[in-house]
Chains A and B, each alone.
Chain A
Amino acid sequence: MKTPYPDVAIVGAYNTVQAKQLPQWTEPSLVLDAIRGALADAGLTPDDVDGVNVSTWVSQLSSRTVAQWFGGRPAWTGTSHPGIEAVLEAAAAIQSGQAETVVIATAQCGAYTERESTVVWTRPENEFVECWGLYTAAEFALMAQRHMHLYGTKREALSEVASAIRMNGAKNPEAVHFGREVSPREVEASRMVADPFRLLDCCITSEGGAAMVLTTKQRAKDLDVTPIQVLGGALDRQGMSYVTAPLWHRYGWVGRRAFELTCQQAGITHKDIDFAELYDPFSFEIIRQLEAFGFCKEGEGGDFVMDGRIRIDGEFPVATNGGIMSYSHAGVVQLLQKPLNAVLQLQGRLVPELTLHEPRIAIATNGGSGALFCDVMALGKEVA
């Protein structure tokens, strides 16, 4: 397989407990549980680590602080936010010889206490946004509404996306919404939040942590793991989220450039990609990304998702752990959990009901059009 990071392997992946609230946990304790879990998963010890990228949103934990936790030994520290950008940064650090073994971790809890309002990280403070009562759902709704106007995208397509992803979570024992099956009809019957989004079109909020360990391919050979390769990745950033008006004609295809660059680096095309851990804040965002990335023509994403195509037993499954609609949405943690779940799925470590048949290549994404950014990466499993 082609990759800009041929000497790098992902060898550890671990999610802490995820729940609507984790009152008995603190962010540092979740981060430590995640780090210990990911190192144990790789069969490595804290002594092996010479690179860290850890940050948290509420407690503002930093990589330098966590380097101190590792005894203050010399270490590379990452500065990217948790998620795809952090994985790409760590892979580049290892490939260039700045570090051998890097742990990336984050956690979030205790952020959402005032439940009369929308969750705090969804609320803008900008002077041209806040006074109009906007928040994340409304920003993404403005995009969806324009798309529906231009292309005639139907309500049924949104319901199918939300149901498909929520059914994955219903089958995932680690999901916050484990056991909660949702049909398209139930999505359509749920209460309106921000037209066209109904409650079940929207992601959940929860708490939890996650960590990932990357090392050299050489080191990975000594470990009892299925190494996963970083095949490529790129970032599309179009400005500050939730400040300027989310204009479809300017921001509707955010992520297209990042996807194309990712495919060029990896030497792959659409047909090589077996599944996609797509950012799923709202049902429409899946349709948008499928169009932006060229899995179907512009305006045809609504048709593309029908007939079970993106369901777990379909031709192109998305958000195979239940995504942030059902598995977990602990603020920034979900950014890391997208590539992390691609790793678990490629390694065949989800429950049998969610395990795909010998997948080789996945994409993961962070961010979407309402947020005016979209990062993309490809991950792959070497087959003998």
Chain B
Amino acid sequence: MKVPTGKIPLPRPTALSRPHWDGCREGTLRVQRCRDCQTLVFIPQPCCGNCLSERLEWVDSSGRGTIYSYTTVYRPQQPVFETPYTVVIVELEEGWHMLSNLLGVAPDDVRIGAEVEVDFHAMSDEITLPYFKLRSAS
């Protein structure tokens, strides 16, 4: 798939999630980390999912990971999404997971375990989305 050109629904950042979206706009994938037990927390929440500590900080992820699972979608959520498009769960190197879309891979060629990296695309003045693409051999 390619980056959507139509008006797809974009995130409306909250006080809690804004650091993540600010990071995307600045070209860095950010995730919360617990200062007490080092657990990574995503999606953003007010406390650590392991120890309930509220002492969370935002840290930078490498943006590299592998495909944990995927589905190529032929019936779109809304017509503005051009089909087919591939939804992936990415397992980041640091061990956390996020949903995204995989760019530039034909549906038949998507594989669980494939190595991917974040690929930022500005969708509006405020929102840059963290898509993923296959990691180039380097």
Q: Specify which chain B residues have a CB less than 8 angstroms from the CB of A191 in the assembled complex.
A: 74
Q: Confirm or deny: B61 has a beta carbon within 8 angstroms of a beta carbon on chain A.
A: no
A128 touches B98 (CB 8 A): yes
Is B68 part of the contact surface with A, judged by Cβ < 8 Å?
yes
B69 adjacent to chain A (CB < 8 Å) = yes
Q: Is the CB of B112 within 8 A of A146?
A: yes
Q: Give me the interface of B with A, judged by CB distance under 8 Å.
A: 8-14, 17, 43, 68-79, 81, 85, 87, 89, 97-101, 107, 112, 129
Q: In the assembly, what is the distance between CA of A154 and CA of B27, in Å?
A: 40
B11 touches A142 (CB 8 A): no
Q: Which residue of B lies closest to A193 (CB)?
A: B75
Q: A245, B10: Cβ atoms under 8 Å?
A: no
A309 within 8 A of B: no
A129 within 8 A of B: yes
A134:B77 contact, CB within 8 angstroms: yes
Map CB proximity to B onto A196-220 as digits: 1 under 8 Å, 0 otherwise. 1101000000000000000000000
Determine if B97 and A132 form an interchain contact, defined as CB atoms under 8 angstroms apart. no
B74 x A194 contact (CB < 8 A): yes
With contacts A127-B13, A128-B98, A194-B72 taken as known, whether A246 is within 8 angstroms of B89 at the C-beta atoms is yes
10 contacts between A and B (CB under 8 A): A117-B77, A118-B75, A123-B78, A131-B11, A131-B129, A133-B78, A133-B81, A133-B85, A145-B69, A191-B74
Q: How far is the CA of A254 from the CA of B78 in the complex (A)?
A: 29
Residues of A130-157 at the interface with B, using a CB-CB cut-off of 8 Å, are: 130-135, 137-138, 141-143, 145-146, 149
Tell me the bound Cα distance from A288 to B97 in angstroms: 22
Per-residue CB contact flags for chain A residues 93-131 toward chain B (1 = under 8 Å, else 0) read: 000000000000000000000001110000100111111
Complex CA distance for A142 and B13, rounded to whole angstroms: 25
Contacts known (A127-B17, A143-B69, A146-B68); A132 close to B87, Cβ less than 8 A: yes
Indicate if the CB atoms of A145 and B43 lie closer than 8 Å.
Answer: no
For residue A58, CB closer than 8 A to chain B, the reply is no
The answer to whether A247 and B89 touch across the interface, beta carbons within 8 angstroms, is yes
20 further interface pairs, Cβ-Cβ under 8 Å (given A138-B77, A141-B73, A192-B74):
A117-B79, A118-B75, A118-B76, A123-B77, A128-B98, A129-B99, A130-B9, A131-B9, A132-B99, A132-B100, A134-B99, A138-B73, A141-B71, A146-B69, A149-B69, A192-B72, A193-B75, A195-B74, A195-B107, A248-B69
When C-beta atoms are compared, the residue in chain B nearest to A246 turns out to be: B89
Q: Which residues of A contact B8 (CB under 8 A)?
A: 131, 133
Residues of B near A196 (CB, < 8 A) are 71
Nearest-neighbour CB distance to chain B for A246, whole angstroms, equals 7
